[in-house]
Structure 1
Amino acid sequence: MKLGIGIGWRPEIAAEVEALTGIDWVEAVAENLCADHLPGSLVRLRERGVTVVPHGVSLGLGGADRPDAGRLASLAARAELLGTPLVTEHIAFVRAGGPLTATPRLEAGHLLPVPRTWDALEVLCENVRIAQDSLPVPLALENIAALISWPDEELTEGQFLAELVERTGVRLLIDVANLHTNHVNRGEDPAKALDELPVEAIAYVHVAGGVEKDGVWHDTHAHPVTAPVLDVLAELRSRVDPPGVLLERDDAFPPGAELAAELETIRGTLRAAAELKTVRGTLRAAAELKTVRGTLRAAAELKTVRGTLRAAAPDSGAGNSRGAGPLAGKPAGPGARDRTAVAQTALLSSLVAGTPAPEGFDHRRLRVQSRALAAKRADVVAKVAPELPQILGDGYRAAFLDYARARPMSGGYRRDALDFAERILISGGLADPVAQRRLTHWWEDRSGPRPPRRTARIVRAARAVLVGK
């Protein structure tokens, strides 16, 4: 399945994406699409023959719980609607707690790394098989970027991915920006990861931008692609010709001309890496031919054919193939799901509820991750409920971060917005009576079992005009 060169489709740049030339396919966040109809932009792209791949972010296949049947059904419905050749998700956990640990359910609102242990691998593989059985098309999974490392990991990233592919047959979505992020943040060598993982299982590749701050690389998807990320892309291309390569951008969207320039840079990187691979292949072939000629000359000087055969006899000890080495089939033992649940709940509770950090983690990195999660919550809530920063003005962000420190997210971002507004109203935190009234009406309109009737909205609007809002 050859995808070609693509770009992440987002509503904010729908027009720019449609205007780009040379785009073979696009990727859309599955949770941002309705299950029964598509945005007009995606309809027009599909009519032009552009493939659309849904990219999920909420399954949490690396979590201790088995995949939610409703989320799987929703992803399957979007795959059917798009007529896509595959769907993609992440190797991550996004929630923890609940029945397995007899603790409150916690939502990260972010993709968090799973420990590279045999326990976590066993849980992930079972969850992947459940997802594969529920989806109408093949599944590919993405490696994620991380600020933090789990202590006492038993596998490298490449080994972990190789075992996952061996046990489930799942395809891989390799994000080279995430490999670079893990190089900066966790000291992991991208080239080693590429050497260890089964590159033949790659379905496509992500390329994205980020920024380094205080020695930490933040995978923002809101900055231009950097040279180190392109270097990792070239490393990957030197090993395999990926079926597809896609540029991701999720925020701070540039003009269409800048997107086109980034895409051309990606094309140029792939071309240059392919040409270098050809040159290296030619040099290797020449070196091997020289070796063969030298061997033949040496053989001609030997006195007997028997001596020549003995000298040229191959070593009887053949190397192990992938899957037959010490990593293959190692049992994780009983209780893997329960142990994974306890470990992930302890970590997520530390990040979003302020409980003590689990043993073995870097406390400074945990604080950085905790602040990043709270900041992301504030940003996403401002997007799903833009009225809140309009009502609260410059005080929105500080008020939300104060709320987030005391209230972990448990029901998604829209529920988070309602809970935040409710807390502001209960605490009497608004001195401005106009803002207090607007926030009250906003909360009442969205927290009830049904929206207010049209008559009620007209009366409210008239009263607002009479009292100056």
Structure 2
Amino acid sequence: MRQLGTGIGWRPEIADAVERMPGIDWVEVVAENVCPGHLPASLRRLRERGVTVVPHGVSLGLGDADRPDEDRLTALAERATGLDAPLVTEHIAFVRAGGPLTASPRLEAGHLLPVPRTRDALDVLCANVRRAQQALPVPLAVENIAALISWPGEELTEGQFLYELADRTGVRLLIDVANLHTNHVNRGEDPAKALAELPLEAIAYVHVAGGFARDGVWHDSHAHPVPREVLDILTDLASRVRPPGVLLERDENFPEPAELEGELTAIRAAVDEGHADLACTGPPTGAGAEAARAGAEAAGEPPRERVALAQAAVLSALVAGTPLPEGFDRERMGVQARALAAKRADVVAKVAPELPRILGARYRPEFLGYAHGQPMTGGYRRDALDFVAHLLRERRPADAAVRRELRGWWRERSGPVPPSRRPVARVARVGRAARRVLTRRSG
């Protein structure tokens, strides 16, 4: 396993600080946010210095009932090649549901949702991981996610699920110790038990991040300092195996560089403490082998239809207000639904920053009101367009000048090519058509 060392998640907001930080061996970038042929200057300079860059995907949906999308796989492969990455990573999560398998509308979560730890879901996940491995030019590692909700009727623990996944596919693991802490608080799962059941030799690297507690729920925010409990889990992991790499994630609310450097120092200290115990006791044997051997894959097609129906029912309840599937905790599902809507509002504000500027303080309540009854069906840029179309249909907000500005924004972006690049006559023609559509919708 390649040794990566100590790293940090590269984000544009902290790009200059990351370049100046001492002891940074590698960085991780959100795969969907970079284009290999047009890398930010900061990333180019880091690569020229020999800093490893690992693309980290967030939208492939390896846990979806559907097979991985070929275009998304191609894009991930291009980033791996373009960045000369030693591996690529993704999440063990489902992010969309519905469609042909269920004969229902296709829905997107806009964020990572947990797959049920059942044999059906594991079969589907293993098949999807194998397809991704075939399409990628470098090894794949998959990450355990943080969860607010639990599926009823689960058949495996998290450690057993991960052990069997790695055993059946040969995939590497990206272990997020912050997510183990989240699942401890939210789902009562013991991080030490999960670590004891893992195939330690399959670990590619480790994520460390912060979060916050509210009303008895832990939110994996990536916007707060790393708590002591997460560092303790990291020490426990390092007492069992020497992780090839450890990385600090921070996505929002960026502190001063000195605070980030302090967190990296604390991470190194936690690993060193665990290494000292490992040197004294030697690595423990994994406890998941028996579970893995007991879960031989059944012959034939994985049961995608059953997984598809279950995921569609859950996602529809979360984003479209349909009845709650049996066995789910109503309060926690409400927390998850609100978290998904908030995530949509945050990301739309980033991909379309003009909207918060135009709407001001009204942006967030208007968007959350829209999201409550309007599931996302085509990605965040489509969501931004649909949000503005919704406002215009509803003649919201009341300020006519704001509506005119929103109408202009919608016209500028609703076509396949920006108006500034079209012939003038075509601009006028498309503009007239857009006005007629909006007039009919507003009528």
TM-score, normalised to structure 2, is 0.92
Q: Which letter maps to 1:162?
A: Y
Partner secondary structure for residue 334 of structure 2? helix
Q: How many residues align?
A: 423
Provide the aligned C-alpha RMSD in A: 2.1
Distance 1:438 1:97, change over 3 A: same
Deviation digits for residues 400-433 of structure 1 (CA, Å, limit 9, x no counterpart):
1110011000000110000000111111112222
Are positions 1:416 and 2:407 aligned together?
A: no
Alpha-carbon deviation of 1:393? 1.2
Contact 1:55-1:87 at 8 Å conserved across structures: yes
Distance 1:388 1:38, change over 3 A: same
Are positions 1:366 and 2:367 aligned together?
A: no
Contact 1:118-1:332 at 8 Å conserved across structures: no
TM alignment of 1:5-20, pairs within 5 A: 5-20=6-21
- Corresponding position of 1:38: 39
- Corresponding position of 2:164: 163
Alpha-carbon deviation of 1:223? 0.2
Find the structure with the greater CA-based Rg: 1
- Corresponding position of 2:141: 140
Distance 1:332 1:343, change over 3 A: farther
Contiguous gaps of at least 5 residues in structure 1: 285-318, 461-469
TM alignment of 1:52-63, pairs within 5 A: 52-63=53-64
TM alignment of 1:290-439, pairs within 5 A: 322=289, 327-329=294-296, 331=298, 336-439=303-406
- Corresponding position of 2:154: 153
TM alignment of 1:270-289, pairs within 5 A: 270-280=271-281
- Corresponding position of 1:125: 126
- Corresponding position of 1:315: none
Distance 1:69 1:348, change over 3 A: same
Deviation digits for residues 345-392 of structure 1 (CA, Å, limit 9, x no counterpart):
000000000000101111110000001100111111111111111111
- Corresponding position of 1:309: none
Are positions 1:194 and 2:161 aligned together?
A: no
- In the aligned structure 2, how far is the partner of 1:66 from the partner of 1:400? 31
Are positions 1:236 and 2:228 aligned together?
A: no
Contact 2:143-2:175 at 8 Å conserved across structures: yes
Deviation digits for residues 239-289 of structure 1 (CA, Å, limit 9, x no counterpart):
00000000000000111111111000101111122223334569x9xxxxx
Alpha-carbon deviation of 1:327? 2.2
- Corresponding position of 1:74: 75
Contact 2:163-2:292 at 8 Å conserved across structures: no
Q: Which letter maps to 2:311?
A: Q
Distance 1:44 1:325, change over 3 A: closer
- Corresponding position of 2:256: 255
Partner secondary structure for residue 110 of structure 1? strand
Alpha-carbon deviation of 1:331? 3.1
- In the aligned structure 2, how far is the partner of 1:248 from the partner of 1:272? 21
- In the aligned structure 2, how far is the partner of 1:346 from the partner of 1:161? 25
Partner secondary structure for residue 247 of structure 2? strand
Contiguous gaps of at least 5 residues in structure 2: 429-443
Contact 1:37-1:81 at 8 Å conserved across structures: no
Q: Which letter maps to 1:416?
A: D
Distance 1:400 1:325, change over 3 A: closer
Alpha-carbon deviation of 1:12? 1.0
Q: Which letter maps to 1:198?
A: P
Contact 2:102-2:308 at 8 Å conserved across structures: yes
Contact 2:57-2:76 at 8 Å conserved across structures: yes
- Corresponding position of 1:219: 220
Alpha-carbon deviation of 1:335? 5.9
Contact 2:223-2:252 at 8 Å conserved across structures: yes
- In the aligned structure 2, how far is the partner of 1:337 from the partner of 1:227? 40
- In the aligned structure 1, how far is the partner of 2:263 from the partner of 2:248? 8
Q: Which letter maps to 2:26?
A: W
- In the aligned structure 2, how far is the partner of 1:112 from the partner of 1:394? 29
- Corresponding position of 2:440: none
Contact 2:123-2:297 at 8 Å conserved across structures: no
Partner secondary structure for residue 275 of structure 2? helix
Partner secondary structure for residue 95 of structure 1? strand
Q: Which letter maps to 2:361?
A: D
Partner secondary structure for residue 179 of structure 2? helix
Distance 1:321 1:424, change over 3 A: closer
Contact 2:241-2:278 at 8 Å conserved across structures: no
Deviation digits for residues 87-115 of structure 1 (CA, Å, limit 9, x no counterpart):
00000000000000000000000100000
Alpha-carbon deviation of 1:452? 1.9
- In the aligned structure 2, how far is the partner of 1:452 from the partner of 1:446? 8
Q: Which letter maps to 1:256?
A: P
Contact 1:163-1:323 at 8 Å conserved across structures: no
Q: Which letter maps to 1:75?
A: L
Are positions 1:453 and 2:423 aligned together?
A: no
- In the aligned structure 2, how far is the partner of 1:397 from the partner of 1:326? 50
Distance 1:113 1:324, change over 3 A: closer
Alpha-carbon deviation of 1:326? 5.9
Deviation digits for residues 302-358 of structure 1 (CA, Å, limit 9, x no counterpart):
xxxxxxxxxxxxxxxxx9992587623153876611000000000000000000010
Q: Which letter maps to 1:204?
A: Y
- Tell me which moved more, 212-221 or 384-393: 384-393
Deviation digits for residues 64-84 of structure 1 (CA, Å, limit 9, x no counterpart):
000000000000000000001
- Tell me which moved more, 273-282 or 395-404: 273-282
Alpha-carbon deviation of 1:173? 0.2
Partner secondary structure for residue 272 of structure 1? helix
Partner secondary structure for residue 453 of structure 1? helix
- In the aligned structure 1, how far is the partner of 2:356 from the partner of 2:226? 30
Distance 1:103 1:279, change over 3 A: same
User: What is the percent sequence identity of the aligned residues?
Assistant: 69
Q: Which letter maps to 1:110?
A: H
Alpha-carbon deviation of 1:144? 0.3
Alpha-carbon deviation of 1:226? 0.2
Partner secondary structure for residue 392 of structure 2? helix
- In the aligned structure 2, how far is the partner of 1:34 from the partner of 1:274? 38
Deviation digits for residues 162-192 of structure 1 (CA, Å, limit 9, x no counterpart):
1001100000000000000000000000000
- In the aligned structure 1, how far is the partner of 2:327 from the partner of 2:357? 42
